[in-house]
Structure 1
Amino acid sequence: MKKNVLIIGAGGVAHVAAHKAAMNNALLGDICIASRTLAKCDGIIESVKRKGHIQNPAYKLYSRQIDALDIPATVKLIKETNSQIVINLGQAFLNMSILEACLETGVAYIDTAIHEEPDKVCENPPWYANYEWKRKERCAEKGLTAILGAGFDPGVVNAYCALAVKRYFDKIDTIDILDVNAGSHGKYFATNFDPEINFREFIKVWTWIDRQWKEYPTHSVKRVYDFPVVGSCPIYLNGHDELHSLSKNIDANSIRFWMGFGDHYINVFTVLRTLGFLSHLPVTLSTGQEVVPLKVVKALLPDPQTLAPGYTGKTCIGNFVKGWKNGKAREVFIYQVSDHKQCYEEVESQGISYTAGVPPVAAAMLVAQGDWDAKTMVNVEELDPEPFIAILDKIGLPTDIKEIEPGSQASFNGTVRDLETELAESTAMVTVSAANPMIAVMRKPAAKAG
């Protein structure tokens, strides 16, 4: 049994994780929230107390200030807090520093995103091999549990892949991970999680097709799919963290990731990128001052956590899996739907942060009780998915499973055609007004039946 949790980070995802950890502190013990900005940590604690989410008041919920790039300082904090599980919910640039601190102290490590270096974006795949997996042997030697990518995507979708292998298929042909946010935050433009990480993610599209890596231009391959609950949504082929471990650990011919984007998002993204505002490399101004354009854009956009109070609509994230069972073709959609308003009512957060913040706590609970205490480095799909999904069902992210008639209208076709054909069908048209920019994001009224 492992007890006492250190949550590093104080953004929207950490906010949710702190709520869920406090709601399960009888198992997890003391909870410390640490970040560079102590006020943000204290704000989260105030939210947890305001909602009455401390399960057992005998355990502490408190804050500390930390620069997680400072490995000795992080080692000291882990020891001072007597933490046995560290949940890393800070920026992806911190991953290796925090993992090194965990290796030095021998405590379990959990994160939700792949490591990134500030001066590099979308490195050649598989990304995990560039940083994390180089430390796998050291984790095994120390008997240290390190669970990589335990958010939703990556994370829960990896568990859905493992569940498909375990329960639904003898042989898998394709896995298409579909992620849509059919919600509305009422702002002209905002990202649902850290803008810097969000934009870096969409610089290149690396995908796993016919058992090899293939690269495509951003937003060049589009599909429209009729999702459960949220309805018809446009989605685009995209690169994503989980593909880089699933391609190694899951026996499938193709594994692709698709994310929903509206025309307005694509328009703003394209203009910013074309003008150079999404560059992660510094530029020198005429004053001699050096700035990173992407960090300037981040500073100008709304903090994702501020979107929560007025957010409406739902998210739908899941895996469309095709293959064979008992010699017959089979198609299954394993998915989860969350409601932004309900997320806010429960933990004062929006749905994107909620879906990312609940799973690492579920993983920590499984580590604490020994079910997922792997004593080595693993990606989520290497662990038994069923206890994970069972806990998620109980603490806020229930899974639905839908059988699809192979080749029917409800099927999803993720086969990528020649690029010329795909480009012709992936254009985005946006109506804008200089006098009223919000026209671009206003939903058009549904046509009346004749």
Structure 2
Amino acid sequence: MKKNVLIIGAGGVAQVVAHKCAQNNDLLGDIHIASRTVSKCDAIIASVHEKSAMKVDGVLQGHALDALDVDATSALIRDTGSQIVINVGSPFVNMSVLDACIATGAAYIDTAIHEEPGKICETPPWYGNYEWKKREICAEKGITAILGAGFDPGVVNAYARYAIDTFMDTVTAIDIVDINAGSHGKYFATNFDPEINFREFTGTVYSWQSGAWQENEMFEVGHDWDLPVVGTQRAYLSGHDEVHSLSANYPDADVRFWMGFGAHYINVFTVLKNLGLLSEQPVTTAEGLEVVPLKVVKACLPDPASLAPNYTGKTCIGDFVKGIKNGQPVEVFVYNVADHAEAYAEVGSQGISYTAGVPPVAAALLVADGTWDANAMKNMEELPPAPFLTQLDRLGLPTRVKDENGDRPWNA
């Protein structure tokens, strides 16, 4: 049994994590939030109290922290008695926070693959470049490290495992589809950190097909998907974290990730990219100032957290999984639909942050009660999915299944 949670990061996803931890602090214990800017932690704490989210009286405290400093992070873990660390900070800090957890024995949970600021879209498999290099030491020291426990990656990995285990003897294809059919009312904005958002789409699109890595350009391959609630939506083959672990665990299946984009987003993105404004490499202005164009664009765009009050519409994210059962082809869609306005009413964040922030809390609860306290490094599809999907149902992200037998709750 583990308890006391340290949340790394204080953005929109961290706000959701804090609210959900507070709603379950009878099980999770003390809650601490750490960021470079402690005022952001304080704002989250104020929002938790405004919503009366604490289930029982307990510790909810903010801390100033440079999470790139392994010693400082280790000291904070020890000082707060935190046995579970939920890292929803920038992917740039993943390896530092993981090292601090290894040093202290705390369980580690993150929501995305580590990135280096000066590199974009490295050679696959991306996990192999960073996190997986710590597998042996996690196993030797009995450190629980759960990688990619957001929605995608995260929930969609669990959906794949559930669909394969439940509906088929062998799997032939996993197509992950992420659609945001909502509207934030701004001329242009990204739903999470603009720097991370743009970095995902400026490099090579890697998918796993026919037992090998396939390379495409962003927006080169599009497909119209007929989805529950949000209807037919155009999505494009994109590179994404979960492809890199699912392809390792299901090498005989084609694994692809598709994300929905409207024509306006594609047009603005293309102009910014062609002008060089999405580059992660520094340039020098006429005044002799060295700036990173991508960081300048980020500074000019709306803070994703500011979108929440006026966000309307829904998201639909899920897996189309194909395989063979008793010699016959089968296909199932395992999915969730989330509502932006409902998310804002509950936790003060928009739906994208909600879908990303609820799953790591579900994972933390399973670590806390021992169900997922694996004493090793695991990607989400390597853990039993049913307890996780059960927690998601309880926490506000219900799972549904659609196939030839109809559309129904996953456990119906």
If the TM-score is normalised by the length of the shorter chain, which range does it land in? over 0.9
Moved more, 202-211 or 379-388: 202-211
CA drift of 1:385 comes to: 0.5
The separation in 2 between residues aligned to 1:368 and 1:295, in whole angstroms, is: 37
Cα offsets for 1:28-51 (capped at 9, x unmatched): 000001100111101001111111
Cα offsets for 1:413-433 (capped at 9, x unmatched): xxxxxxxxxxxxxxxxxxxxx
Cα offsets for 1:104-135 (capped at 9, x unmatched): 10110000000000010000100000010001
CA drift of 1:324 comes to: 1.2
1:157 matched to 2:156:
yes
The separation in 2 between residues aligned to 1:232 and 1:343, in whole angstroms, is: 23
1:316 matched to 2:334:
no
In the alignment, which residue of structure 2 is the partner of 1:31? 31
For the residue of structure 2 that corresponds to 1:242, the secondary structure is helix
Cα offsets for 1:357-397 (capped at 9, x unmatched): 00000000000000000001110000000100000001110
1:283 matched to 2:283:
yes
Say whether the 8 Å CA contact 1:93–1:115 is kept in structure 2.
yes
The separation in 2 between residues aligned to 1:160 and 1:250, in whole angstroms, is: 13
Unaligned runs of 5+ in 1: 406-450
In the alignment, which residue of structure 2 is the partner of 1:333? 333
In the alignment, which residue of structure 1 is the partner of 2:242? 242
1:175 matched to 2:174:
yes
Say whether the 8 Å CA contact 2:211–2:251 is kept in structure 1.
no
Say whether the 8 Å CA contact 1:235–1:258 is kept in structure 2.
yes
The separation in 1 between residues aligned to 2:226 and 2:77, in whole angstroms, is: 47
Cα offsets for 1:157-209 (capped at 9, x unmatched): 00011101211110111110000000000000000000000000012201111
Deviation beyond 3 Å, 4+ runs, structure 1 = none
1:114 matched to 2:144:
no
CA drift of 1:250 comes to: 2.1
Moved more, 28-37 or 242-251: 242-251
Say whether the 8 Å CA contact 1:172–1:251 is kept in structure 2.
no
The separation in 1 between residues aligned to 2:65 and 2:340, in whole angstroms, is: 31
- Percent identical: 65
The separation in 1 between residues aligned to 2:127 and 2:362, in whole angstroms, is: 22
In the alignment, which residue of structure 1 is the partner of 2:79? 80
The separation in 1 between residues aligned to 2:148 and 2:244, in whole angstroms, is: 11
Give 1:195's aligned amino acid.
P
In the alignment, which residue of structure 1 is the partner of 2:231? 231
Unaligned runs of 5+ in 2: 406-412
CA drift of 1:246 comes to: 0.5
For the residue of structure 1 that corresponds to 2:176, the secondary structure is strand
For the residue of structure 1 that corresponds to 2:100, the secondary structure is helix
Say whether the 8 Å CA contact 1:176–1:320 is kept in structure 2.
yes
1:41 matched to 2:41:
yes
1:95 matched to 2:94:
yes
Give 1:127's aligned amino acid.
W
Q: Which has the larger radius of gyration?
A: 1
CA drift of 1:233 comes to: 1.0
In the alignment, which residue of structure 2 is the partner of 1:132? 131
Moved more, 209-218 or 182-191: 209-218
The separation in 2 between residues aligned to 1:201 and 1:399, in whole angstroms, is: 26
In the alignment, which residue of structure 1 is the partner of 2:397? 397
CA drift of 1:288 comes to: 1.4
The separation in 1 between residues aligned to 2:262 and 2:174, in whole angstroms, is: 23
CA drift of 1:328 comes to: 1.6
Please, what TM-score do these two structures have when normalized by structure 1? Answer: 0.89
CA drift of 1:398 comes to: 0.1
Give 1:196's aligned amino acid.
E
Say whether the 8 Å CA contact 1:175–1:252 is kept in structure 2.
no
Give 2:341's aligned amino acid.
K
CA drift of 1:253 comes to: 2.4
CA drift of 1:287 comes to: 1.4
- Aligned counterparts, 1:184-203, within 5 A: 184-203=183-202
CA drift of 1:251 comes to: 4.5
Give 2:21's aligned amino acid.
A
For the residue of structure 2 that corresponds to 1:276, the secondary structure is coil
Give 2:174's aligned amino acid.
I
In the alignment, which residue of structure 1 is the partner of 2:408? none
The separation in 1 between residues aligned to 2:361 and 2:306, in whole angstroms, is: 23
For the residue of structure 1 that corresponds to 2:360, the secondary structure is helix
* Superposition CA RMSD, Å: 0.8
1:63 matched to 2:62:
yes
Give 1:280's aligned amino acid.
E
